[in-house]
Structure 1
Amino acid sequence: MSYSVGQVAAFAGVTVRTLHHYDKAGLLSPGSRSRAGYRLYDDADLARLQQILFYRELGFTLEDTAAILRDPQADVLEHLQARQRQLGEEIARLRRLAEVAARAIEVQQTGVRLTPEERFEVFGEIAFDLSYATEAELKWTGSEGRREAMARAAAHTKEDWRLLMREATAWRAELLTAFDEAQPCDGERAMDLAEEHRLHISRWFTSCPPAMHRRIADDFLADPRAFALVVPPSQQRPGLAAYLCKAVHANAARRADGRADGRADGRTGTEETR
């Protein structure tokens, strides 16, 4: 059975111009022509076209494809293995570029104005998950607290971040100790740690009243990416996110009951003088 150039183009998802080019290049010449001189392709031509398109998809040049199809003794496996190596190298290069782009986007979305080297030096294991940063940006884009937090994060110097992370590290060590010692999540020690975390947020990012702190803690429980900003995966324990979430809720209830220690909601005196 014979097919016109238009029919073959439709079958293969290529243009008529492409088929004409393959013909001129000697890569795919139709098996016959109609009385009017139009190209006619048979089943063998279609099979050859399928091979050509396969090699094209893998990135082979037309010259390499022609050489493979022209020589029945050509070592197709060797050609494919060589191309596989080239593709692997290209994939690795593109991944490196994607990582660079991701870091650049991440800097814009997290408000952290540090170089990659400085970020590693300051934050260590704590990593900002780009997908979480993007979702947070969309979720809180209209929030005044979000805008304030981003603005203040952008204004932090490298020394600010060092001090912030030292505070966070010391607080995290206390949290892990309380959890490992099975201190009750609604006990004084756990609630005090929750209050320290709330004040830490207020001091460095944005005023964090108990209601907001509860929402943040709920995020820790619901999304591992959010909790990883507080406790890196290597230091996490099963149930730790739930423990912190319950402690935050218990502390919020304690403050609502008027049994807090009297520290002001939001900024502390230290914050007001920074």
Structure 2
Amino acid sequence: MSEQGMPVGETAARLGLTVRTLHHWDEIGLARPAARSSAGYRLYTDEDLERLRRIVVYRELGLDLDAIRAVIDEPGGDVAAQLRVQRTHVSQRIAQLQIVDDDLERMIAAQERGILLSEDEQHETFGPGWDTSWPAEARDAYGGSPQWQQYAERSASRSVDDWAEVTRAVSAVDAELADAVASGVEPGDALADALVERHRTVFSQYFPLTRQMQVHLGRMYAADPRFAAHYDAIRPGLAMWLRDAIEASARAHGIDPDTARWE
């Protein structure tokens, strides 16, 4: 420091501030340097530095500049009251951040596990035939896909009751599909097309399902022994019927099932 004071650049560096900040505080009258060099540059005296240190302390506590001005410049001001107000704001922010932290924890768990239910809750919600290893298998197979991410994002906010509602919707459409097979509805009929659309709507509760993607699912239902067994247990021949109904509906919408892409 010279005999007159410290230049603005050195002052900023000492206090961990920017020159721009010091210029701003000078312009609004919060911290004006007491001296100027012969060339007109700002110079900060010891008293100026002490004021700046106090400003920095209160700014780090979260007070805005108007509150800091009141604390520093109003003789007899109730500093404790100002700090209590700030502490209330901080407490509210902490509570908000705790909610965000909890949400992040659930989102991370959902991305890693798929379903945030205990094994007992899964059996109770999805039925005795549910295998609790299936979510992990799905994560291993599809964890890098956008659809898994969408599925996990929805799963993160779902409760046991939410999953129970999804299960009821799926069971209801399965029953409608089985009734259609029992009634002799042919793939491509208007009722079959309506049921295919209903299946797509219900399945979209897991992730958005396009008609092209539905074609791939239909073929998997018929080809994968576990899916085929599930549908055929509801109604013999249902897996093949659903595949054929999905493909007939796709053709009606201008989609060639043989060239349909997962998109």
The two structures have a TM-score, normalised by structure 1, of 0.47
Identify the structure with bigger relative contact order (alpha carbons < 8 Å, sequence gap 6+): 1
Q: TM-score, normalised by structure 2?
A: 0.49
Flag the structure with larger Rg: 2
